[in-house]
Structure 1
Amino acid sequence: MRGWGSWVGRHARVVVGVWFVAVTLAFLAATGVVGEGLFPRLHASDIEAPGENLIGRDLLRGTTREQGLGGSYTLLVAGIDPAAPRVAAAARTAVTELLAIPGVERAANPYVVPSGLDSAGAQAMFADRSQYSGGFATIVLLKQGLSRSSEDETHDRIDAVFDELVRASGAHDSQRGSIRALVDRIVEQIKIDGQRGEGIALPLSFLVMIVVFGGFVAAGIPVVGAVASIAGALGCLLGFSHLLDLDATVVNVVTVLGLGLCIDYGLLLVSRFREEYAASRPPGIAPEVGPAREITREDAIRAIGLAVDRAGRTVLFSGLIVAISLSGLLVFDVPFVRALAAAGVSIVVVALLVALTLIPALCVLGARRILRARRTEVTGDSGVFAQLATRVHARPWVVIALLGAALVTMALPALDLRLTSSGAALLPTGTPERVFVERTQAHYPGIAGAELTLVTKAPVAQVRAWTAGRQIPGVTRIGSVVARPGGVVTVAIYTGDGGSGPASRAAAHSLRTDRAPFPNWITGQASGIADYQDAIRARAPAAIALVGLTTMALLFLMTGSIVIPIKALLMNLLSLGATVGVVVWVFQDGHLQGLLGFSSVGAVESTLPLLLAAFGFGLSMDYEVFLLARIVELHEQGLSTTEAVTLGLQRSGRIITSAALLMVIVFGGFASAQLLVMKQMGFGLALAIALDATIVRMLLVPATMYVLGQANWWAPAPMRRLHRRWGITG
């Protein structure tokens, strides 16, 4: 790769110019300055997988009385006297005006129900099912197929009617909401959280790199690369949004990945650039002393060629392993997961392009400032990391036993992992959209809808006989048996927890395992989560095999050993298990709620374990590659295993810990998010990196390599011959 690095160095201005144009265009397109933009194309919905939840919903689609309807818009009023004539008159007038709006299909409140205020239909629209409770709901159903602009206009006209209804009824309190408003709020919160996370991560990362490099220019290069990565990520996601349904959370997840990788790779390449220049300069000439020898363009090109040849190979290996770990997600038959994988792999490619083109070009253009900056990195063969390695070498079995036991203990809470797919609960407590949903569920259960629905084509009489006196765990009420067009029969099942709580999970499990004596399908959020878990379990062995074997093959080509790749996989599993365990302890069990600023929902988001596994595995291998590259390089130079490990840790330890600190800052910035799933993701990945770069890479890896000694490099004779021919080290 030396030739590539030298070519980029010689054409540095052209490379930077091309990137400047590309980044500008990507930002303009993604932010909507040119065209529609990315965020209006995103959505937020439950994570769905093929299974009985979707089958049941497909049976209902087109057969219910809501056929041909679009979304709904609901007004809740409180603090009124429901029996007052002015309230009834205002409510009836409002319905008449609502029905006159072109985009409205239906409108109702308890005062226009033909069967009267005491009917079940009217009571469902009174707060707490009582006309004396002081509140009622007005529900508007929109026509299907409205364009976004038509829907906006319809909402504006509905709002005007709602405003007049609140005024005319004398209501002291009112609230309005819809699924669309909830989704828009979640997407907007994701955008805000992303901007906040980047606003925290970039300045702090820059400050850390000033300390690491001792100069503004050197510190700024990885940050510039990170900005280019963000632009590339947004541009790629905009392209994918025309091909796939992208969930809004995908944006922040893959953006933060690209941001972190670019900062890491930039740190590695800039450090290696300075190291290679220092190693190749004439004896007695120090680059930091100023005019003793002018730093020429050829000096910079030669140094960047060597840096890309050595560190660039490490970057390429690292990127390939991260991409492989994300590619494993393509195995799962879950559209959200596949979209995340495709977008994630594309962002890794962007990060690699930035690292292997823009970063080297910037190094050459800023060479005089970078190479003369105050030197702070440790390039000698003795130092704090060599001392750490020596202490580990003195008692490797103690280190392995104590740290292994600690990681296993941290992983234990993962055995009680519970998943959820939150809707309004994703938003911070007190958010108007969340309050509306909670208020509807608490005071208007009849219009909030059932948490679960049994769908069947069995005879109505048989279904009624089954429901009569039926007791189901977690169920508070079983609704009436309803015959629908096409021979479809439904039963509404209420649990009172919004659809994803313990009661809904227990009810869904009972209904799916202790089946009614006729063919049926259970729909609802809890049933969808069960389908998702089934889909993950079904494909997990194939995904693990694909990622594990491919990663082992790459590490074998890098090291010539089969022991090191197996050991790396086992350590990654231990580290990831500990991470998931701590995430469960914090977010599911509700510890540290005050410190982290969240309210536990008694479970973790359904996508989180898979996300932690894929992203955490790839990023952990990132640091494994950083460390092994130095150890292998030194071992190939003739050093013993003990010497190579000690010196390799000394020469790479500062880079690994600095890179890990920067990655923790990046993910930690997103842990400050208000959206619960983003907070869980940021915290989990920051923890995974912190554990891996400290306990695993700095302590467990050296300890196990010291214990194994020369056995680290063992491989069967045929594989040794294969490595001699195809190995890509050196």
Structure 2
Amino acid sequence: MTVVNRPQEGRAGGWTRAVTARPRLTLLLALLFTALAVVAGRGVADRLGSGGWQAPAAESAYATKALEKHFPASQPNLLLLVDSGGATVDAPAVAAEGRALARKLAGEPSVTGVTSYWDGAAGLRDRGGHQAIVAARIVGDESAAAKVLERVAPAYRGDHGPVKVSIGGPVAVRHELQTTIQEDLLRAEMIALPITLLLLVMVFGSAVAALLPLCVGIIAILGTNAVLRGLTEFTDVSVFALNLTTALGLGLAIDYALFIVRRFREELGRGAGTLPAVAATLRTAGRTVLFSALTVAVSLAAMLVFPQYFLRSFAYAGIAVVLIAAAAALVVLPAALALLGERVNALDLTRLIRRGRPAPGEPGAGWGRIARLVMRRAPLFALATAAGLVVLGLPFLRVEFGTADDRQLPASAESHVVQQHIRDDFAGSPGGAIDILVESSPGRAALADYSGRISALPGVERVDSPAGRFAGGRRVAEPGPAEAARVADGAAYVTVLAKGEVVDQPSQRLVRDIRAQDPPFATSVTGIAAVVVDSKDSIAERLPWALAIIVVVTLLLVFLLTGSVLIPLQAVVLNALSLTAMFGAVVWVFQEGHLSGPLSFTSTGDIETTLPVLMFCVAFGLSMDYGVFLLSRIKEEYDRTGDHRASVEFGLRRTGGLITAAAVILAVVMVAIGTSRVTNTKMLGLGIALAVLMDAMVVRSLLVPAVMRLTGRATWWAPGPLRRLHARIGLSEGESATPGTVPDTRDSRPDIRDSPDTRDAGGGSRAARPGGARGERDEVNAGR
């Protein structure tokens, strides 16, 4: 039979002509874009920050800026840990060297507020008397402070006569975080790329086809780096966003390219010519890729509602990489396919593996059997799977929120070692105290009364104020020269040293207790614990808006894809269920430290406040990515046949292998990211890898078919006005058809009986069956 395969006219046909009319020119422009992106994105990592957890409009942010301006010594970000060896820090030679180090540091440009134990700050000596601290503040933003640190650190680190100096403090921690992340990201790419290529060869069989997703991923990553470099001219961007750029750039490019290339090969297998196959691919898989990209972009865009630039950075990177990956998949990939044609199947590297083995059965048959089994026992699978996911998420009920600190770094990192010595050996926490900015020209008596009341609060070690030192509700030392320096320009500051950890729950409660006081003057509280409290409050305030954006736009997009009211609701609920294992594991592993040894990290007993929000947005978007792939093929078959149960089986049979392959490849990329020595990056990579695998292998394979079987044909119900709206503006992957009819497809697809070896986008096959579509439904019914 002669097959006539004419692309459908309209927007899809116009787009096909646009990207395939001059494919060589399209690829040349893509190459030019990539080259420009390399130049524009050069040095992006050096311009990124390693902070961004603080809400800029919070009370703590205001107090930090005011204290930095009026009292730079109150906000030290550089600490020199001076170790006297066997002697005491009061030994004459040690004391002389300590004072010399402090004087030298005070003379460095951009360094201010230098103080030390030998200048009268008694709290800067350890309990054993063998270590002391020189504290200072490097002025300027993160980038400027990092440059100053790089300049001055070599002159102070190491042996100085009778003492040995190590460098710590927030600026040193940030610098080591940034350096470590850059090194780990390069290593992750070296791990992920060859493994990904090997898996793609196994999935496609063809080395030529396997290289296409990597090309799309490289374009997406380099293009996003250029976007981030441009954004650094206008706003702060977190260095952690580079990890998301790599992970999503490779992961989504592979997802989209898998879907498009598989569909193109399917159309070729049906007997279509190259250009008609490209047209059919863009009209079907291309629409699905577009919907998928929009859903992922919306999930990531929701982070823009938060004020912390750490979260906003992931929105910038995520939106850019998703849109560039989708554009490359819908522009560059079709042009490449138009040039390759049948050669997309060239260089089959799996022939040696298959040689001598019996011919495989029908591709996708296993997924069909799973679908039939699940739908026969739908109530059991639905209940057991949902209950199991909920149980896996229960540890998240014990979550405690904190902030990132030096313990994100490996235990051997210099700044981590310094801060650990301070935690273990010093009273209170130098550089991590709670600071109170006092304004409105407070009097000495009022300050003394206020400081005494603060010192009596639970969890307070001592209070240092212009009125003296207080502990247990009373003054224990009269004010001296150091206390006199706490007053300037009609303002003052009070330092509260807590008994516990800097950001543990008692310290956070102490911040709220201090703010609950009602002194006769204006006060603002800052410090690391106050930043955490403000960050939690800021996220709690904005979280409903972010969730509303994700849910509403997801419901709208899935409705436009399916025309159903129930399917969008199912998609949101089931996607959320797929994330429970990730959140439970985050608490059980990283907060409680159950696998801290094998995974090589230091448990802090809490989770960085912004991280669950980030992981939710990324993992939810990726889950919707796979959900759209599955629903689009189910919808296509339901439009063609009107058989609900057969359509669910068809969708899983056609996409089960595709989704699983894409999930495994993305998990490999995320696990490579998870090999980072930085705990937050490790948590992000391993957590999202777990979420992706649970979504693909449990939710899409078991829970979705079970729930759709339980809802039956009501799955596709929509009220009349919405049905008419969808008829006007909705999009679907298949040809338009009235459910329950089998349209004449001779103009757009060949008779399947003439193509006994066709392959589909999910590893399935439409092998010859008597009776065409009706015979296929009869076989499904017989299998049940």
Greater alpha carbon shift after TM alignment, 230-239 vs 586-595: 586-595
**Code of the aligned partner of 1:479:** D
Tell me the residue number matched to 2:125: 126
Tell me the residue number matched to 1:200: 191
Aligned partners of 1:306 and 1:525: how far apart in 2? 57
Tell me the residue number matched to 2:421: 439
Tell me the CA shift for residue 24 of structure 1.
Answer: 2.5
Aligned partners of 1:15 and 1:237: how far apart in 2? 25
1:233 maps onto 2:240 in alignment: no
Aligned partners of 1:371 and 1:88: how far apart in 2? 75
1:404 maps onto 2:392 in alignment: no
Tell me the CA shift for residue 384 of structure 1.
Answer: 0.3
Tell me the residue number matched to 1:23: 34
Aligned partners of 1:431 and 1:531: how far apart in 2? 29
Tell me the CA shift for residue 144 of structure 1.
Answer: 6.5
Contact persistence 1:454–1:492 (CA under 8 A): yes
1:721 maps onto 2:714 in alignment: no
Structure 1 residues 600 and 620, CA gap change in structure 2 (3 angstroms): same
Q: How many residues align?
A: 691
**Code of the aligned partner of 1:245:** D
Tell me the CA shift for residue 8 of structure 1.
Answer: 2.2
Aligned partners of 1:63 and 1:102: how far apart in 2? 18
Contact persistence 2:82–2:134 (CA under 8 A): yes
Contact persistence 2:392–2:584 (CA under 8 A): yes
Tell me the residue number matched to 2:299: 325
Tell me the CA shift for residue 614 of structure 1.
Answer: 1.1
Alignment of 1:244-643 (within 5 A): 244-281=235-272, 299-372=273-346, 374=348, 383-444=365-426, 448-457=430-439, 459-468=443-452, 470-481=455-466, 484-495=487-498, 497=500, 499-512=502-515, 519-643=522-646
| 1:338-379 deviation per Cα after TM superposition (whole angstroms, max 9, x unaligned) | 333233212211111111122222333333432356599999
Structure 1 residues 101 and 369, CA gap change in structure 2 (3 angstroms): same
Q: What are the ranges of 5 or more consecutive residues in structure 2 without an aligned counterpart?
A: 1-11, 468-485, 735-784
Structure 1 residues 275 and 177, CA gap change in structure 2 (3 angstroms): same
Aligned partners of 1:622 and 1:338: how far apart in 2? 21
Contact persistence 1:127–1:136 (CA under 8 A): yes
Structure 1 residues 205 and 494, CA gap change in structure 2 (3 angstroms): same
Structure 1 residues 13 and 440, CA gap change in structure 2 (3 angstroms): same
Q: TM-score, normalised by structure 1?
A: 0.87
| 1:430-487 deviation per Cα after TM superposition (whole angstroms, max 9, x unaligned) | 1112112222344455782342123333544334324436443433333335652244
Structure 1 residues 424 and 725, CA gap change in structure 2 (3 angstroms): same
Q: What are the ranges of 5 or more consecutive residues in structure 1 without an aligned counterpart?
A: 32-36, 114-119, 282-298
The structure richer in helix per residue is: 1
Tell me the residue number matched to 1:710: 713
Tell me the CA shift for residue 48 of structure 1.
Answer: 1.2
Aligned partners of 1:108 and 1:572: how far apart in 2? 54
Structure 1 residues 99 and 404, CA gap change in structure 2 (3 angstroms): closer
Aligned partners of 2:660 and 2:143: how far apart in 1? 52
Kindly report the root-mean-square deviation, in angstroms, between the aligned alpha carbons of the 2 structures.
Answer: 3.0
Residue of structure 2 aligned with 1:53, choices 47, 60, 67: 60
**Code of the aligned partner of 1:7:** A
Residue of structure 1 aligned with 2:47, choices 38, 41, 44: 41
Contact persistence 1:325–1:547 (CA under 8 A): yes
Tell me the residue number matched to 2:131: 135
Aligned partners of 1:466 and 1:104: how far apart in 2? 32
Tell me the CA shift for residue 409 of structure 1.
Answer: 0.9
Contact persistence 1:396–1:704 (CA under 8 A): yes
| 1:617-644 deviation per Cα after TM superposition (whole angstroms, max 9, x unaligned) | 1111111100010000000102410010
SS in 2 for 1:280: coil
Tell me the CA shift for residue 45 of structure 1.
Answer: 1.8
Contact persistence 2:176–2:415 (CA under 8 A): yes
Aligned partners of 1:583 and 1:553: how far apart in 2? 31
Structure 1 residues 541 and 137, CA gap change in structure 2 (3 angstroms): closer
Tell me the residue number matched to 2:203: 212
**Code of the aligned partner of 2:463:** I
Aligned partners of 2:362 and 2:716: how far apart in 1? 26
Q: TM-score, normalised by structure 2?
A: 0.82
Contact persistence 1:221–1:266 (CA under 8 A): yes
Contact persistence 1:70–1:144 (CA under 8 A): no
Contact persistence 2:708–2:715 (CA under 8 A): yes
Aligned partners of 2:363 and 2:104: how far apart in 1? 82
Tell me the CA shift for residue 205 of structure 1.
Answer: 1.4
| 1:104-156 deviation per Cα after TM superposition (whole angstroms, max 9, x unaligned) | 65755555x3xxxxxx42x344333x6xx33344455567799959965x965
**Code of the aligned partner of 2:602:** S
**Code of the aligned partner of 1:56:** A
1:651 maps onto 2:654 in alignment: yes
- Percent of aligned pairs sharing the same letter: 32
Structure 1 residues 234 and 97, CA gap change in structure 2 (3 angstroms): closer
Greater alpha carbon shift after TM alignment, 544-553 vs 142-151: 142-151
Aligned partners of 1:104 and 1:616: how far apart in 2? 43
| 1:269-297 deviation per Cα after TM superposition (whole angstroms, max 9, x unaligned) | 1111100111134xxxxxxxxxxxxxxxx
Alignment of 1:2-17 (within 5 A): 2-17=13-28
